[in-house]
Structure 1
Amino acid sequence: MSLDLETLVAIDVHVHAERNADEPQDPVTGEVLAAAARYFGGSPAQPTAQEVADYYRERRMAAVIFTIDDEAGMGRKRLGNDEVLEAAAANPDVLIPFASVDPHKGKLAVREARELIARGARGFKFHPNTQAFWPNDREHYPLYEVIAEAGLIALFHSGTTGIGAGMPGGGGVRLKYSNPMCVDDVAADFPGLDIILAHPSFPWQDEALAIAVHKPNVYIDLSGWAPKYFPENLIQYTNSRLKHKMLFGSDYPLITPDRWLRDFAQLAIKDEVRPLVLKENAARLLGISAST
Structure 2
Amino acid sequence: MVLDFHVHLYPPEVVRDSERIAQREDYFALLSSSPVHRWAQVEDLISAMDRDGVDRAVVFGFAFNDLGLCRLCNDYVLEAARAHPDRLIPFAVVPPLCRGMGAEVERAASLGALGVGELFPDGQGFQVDDPRQTFRIAGLCHELGILLMLHCAEPVGHLYAGKGTVGPKEAAAFCENHPEVKVVFAHFGGGLWLYEAMEEMRLNLSNAYYDTAAMPFLYDSSLLASVMASGAGKKILFGTDFPILGLPRYRPLLESAGISGPDAEALLGGNGWRLLESLGRPLTPWGGLNRI
TM-score tier by shorter-chain length is 0.7 to 0.9
Residue in structure 2 matched with residue 3 of structure 1 by the alignment:
none
Match of 2:271 among 246, 256, 281: 281
Counterpart mapping for 1:54-65 below 5 A: 54-58=47-51, 59-65=53-59
Q: 1:142 to 1:45 in 2, by over 3 A?
A: closer
Q: 1:112 to 1:76 in 2, by over 3 A?
A: closer
Q: 1:22 to 1:269 in 2, by over 3 A?
A: closer
2:242 is the alignment partner of 1:252: yes
Question: What letter corresponds to residue 176 of structure 2 in structure 1?
Answer: A
Match of 2:105 among 99, 113, 117: 113
Match of 2:81 among 88, 102, 121: 88
Q: What's the CA shift for 1:60?
A: 3.9
Match of 1:213 among 202, 221, 227: 202
Once residues 37 and 246 of structure 2 are traced to their aligned partners in structure 1, the CA distance between those partners, rounded to angstroms, is: 9
Counterpart mapping for 1:129-278 below 5 A: 129-137=122-130, 138-159=132-153, 175-176=164-165, 178-202=166-190, 205=191, 207-210=192-195, 213-214=202-203, 215-226=205-216, 229-230=219-220, 232=222, 235-269=225-259, 271-278=261-268
**Contact 2:86–2:290 (CA<8 Å) still a contact in 1?**
no
**Identity in percent:** 23
Once residues 14 and 102 of structure 2 are traced to their aligned partners in structure 1, the CA distance between those partners, rounded to angstroms, is: 29
Once residues 276 and 266 of structure 1 are traced to their aligned partners in structure 2, the CA distance between those partners, rounded to angstroms, is: 17
Question: What letter corresponds to residue 265 of structure 2 in structure 1?
Answer: P
- Count of matched residue positions in the alignment of Structure 1 and Structure 2: 264
Once residues 54 and 139 of structure 1 are traced to their aligned partners in structure 2, the CA distance between those partners, rounded to angstroms, is: 39
TM (normalized to structure 1)?
0.78
Once residues 30 and 68 of structure 2 are traced to their aligned partners in structure 1, the CA distance between those partners, rounded to angstroms, is: 10
Gaps of 5+ in 2: 278-282, 284-288
**Contact 2:116–2:147 (CA<8 Å) still a contact in 1?**
yes
Identify, as 1 or 2, the structure richer in helix. 2
Gaps of 5+ in 1: 1-7, 38-42
Residue in structure 1 matched with residue 92 of structure 2 by the alignment:
99
Question: What letter corresponds to residue 115 of structure 1 in structure 2?
Answer: R
**Contact 1:15–1:63 (CA<8 Å) still a contact in 2?**
yes
Match of 1:36 among 21, 34, 37: 34
Q: What's the CA shift for 1:18?
A: 3.1
TM (normalized to structure 2)?
0.78
Residue in structure 2 matched with residue 40 of structure 1 by the alignment:
none
